[in-house]
Amino acid sequence: MPLFELDSSQHIDMLRDRRSRWARSLPVRAARAVAREFGRGAVYGIEWGDPDVWDPLRFVRDRYVLPFVKPDQIAVEIGPGGGRWTRYLLGFKTLYAVEYYDALIAEFEKTYGRNDRVKVIKNNGTDFPGIPTSSVDYVFSFGCFVHLSRSLITNYIANIKTILKPRGNAVIHYSDKTKIMAQLNNGFSDNTPDAMRKLVTDTGCRITAEDTTTMWHSSIIQFTR
Ligand SMILES: C[S@@+](CC[C@H](N)C(=O)[O-])C[C@H]1O[C@@H](n2cnc3c(N)ncnc32)[C@H](O)[C@@H]1O
């Protein structure tokens, strides 16, 4: 089964693997019970790094996420997983959380299912069903495009262009195979800053910022339509 295509079991396997590892670990279960009790649930994905704690992710949070959050604006998060980054996006008027896999929607809804500002959308892999054309101020995706094939990314960028407002911004984190840690990670798709720039500009979008240094296995591109 192709790793980076929609019928890949990669994301369900990752969730299942995490559940079984965590279920076996008594200290982790105890920590989660305490976290739940005090209102800070340990969301799926926090084991890849907590943006409140780990410097590179804190930089991403402070440079590419928080400055965009506005209470009168609309945002989309693609592939939110357990919601590791979603907690920083709750200051938008509406946040559409766009996800392809049912199991991940169920996981996400454990934390965000009752938040009125968060609208969960199950998509068909690269589209934004129900989100009007030219209605979105900010699109964010972290940890999702690193696993997608170039053809899925191409379709996503074209669809992002359609939903973005004229001066809206998209921030996408993607696999960077020019970096050794991406080369060593078989779960990361074949992509580079050069290839990603071309995918974005071929769609007619304009690159407004890039970060090829903060993450050791990936890079970030920011663009507008
Ligand atoms: C590795 S997790 C990252 C989750 C979260 N963004 C984070 O950083 O913790 C990848 C997420 O992307 C979702 N995903 C994978 N392919 C997708 C697609 N084509 N469209 C939307 N979501 C997708 C997965 O189900 C999963 O929720």
pLDDT at residue 59 tops 60: yes
Q: What is the pLDDT of residue 101?
A: 97
- Residue 130's region, left for phi above 0, alpha for psi from -120 to 50, else beta, is left
Contacts with 36 (C-beta within 8 Å, 6 or more apart), sequence order: none
> How far apart, in whole angstroms, are the C-alpha atoms of residue 171 and residue 105?
22
- Residue with the nearest Cα to atom 10 of ligand 1? 144
Task: Give the type of residue at 223.
Answer: F
In a domain, 35, yes or no: no
Task: Give the type of residue at 200.
Answer: V
Percent of the chain residues topping a pLDDT of 70: 93
Q: What is the pLDDT of residue 3?
A: 80
In a domain, 175, yes or no: yes
In a domain, 29, yes or no: no
Please count the structural domains in the chain: 1
Ligand 1 pocket check for 104: Cβ under 6 Å? yes
In a domain, 140, yes or no: yes
Ligand 1 pocket check for 79: Cβ under 6 Å? yes
Q: What is the pLDDT of residue 18?
A: 84
What is the CA(63)–ligand 1 centre distance, in A?
Answer: 21
In a domain, 1, yes or no: no
Lookup: tokens for 182 = 């991406």
Query: 112: domain CATH number?
Result: 3.40.50.150
Ligand 1 pocket check for 44: Cβ under 6 Å? no
Ligand 1 pocket check for 143: Cβ under 6 Å? yes
Q: What is the pLDDT of residues 194-207, one digit of tens each?
A: 999 999 999 999 99
> How far apart, in whole angstroms, are the C-alpha atoms of residue 57 and residue 59?
5
> How far apart, in whole angstroms, are the C-alpha atoms of residue 213 and residue 207?
17
In a domain, 136, yes or no: yes
Ligand 1 pocket check for 84: Cβ under 6 Å? yes
In a domain, 86, yes or no: yes
How big, in percent rounded to 5, are the helix, strand and coil portions of the chain?
40, 20, 40
- Orientation of helix 193-202 relative to helix 150-163, angle to 10°: 40
Ligand 1 pocket check for 51: Cβ under 6 Å? no
Weakest-pLDDT range from 37-51, 73-87, 144-158: 37-51
Q: What is the pLDDT of residues 133-181, one digit of tens each?
A: 999 999 999 999 999 999 999 999 999 999 999 999 999 999 999 999 9
Task: Provide the whole-model pTM.
Answer: 0.89
How large is the average pLDDT for residues 211-222?
Answer: 98
In a domain, 3, yes or no: no
Tell me the Cα Rg of the chain: 17
CA-14 nearest atom, ligand 1: 1
Q: What is the pLDDT of residue 194?
A: 98
What is the CA(105)–ligand 1 centre distance, in A?
Answer: 10
- Residue with the nearest Cα to atom 27 of ligand 1? 81
Residue 119's domain spans which residues? 48-224
Lookup: tokens for 33 = 């019970």
Burial of 200 (0-12, 13-18, 19+ CB in 10 A): buried
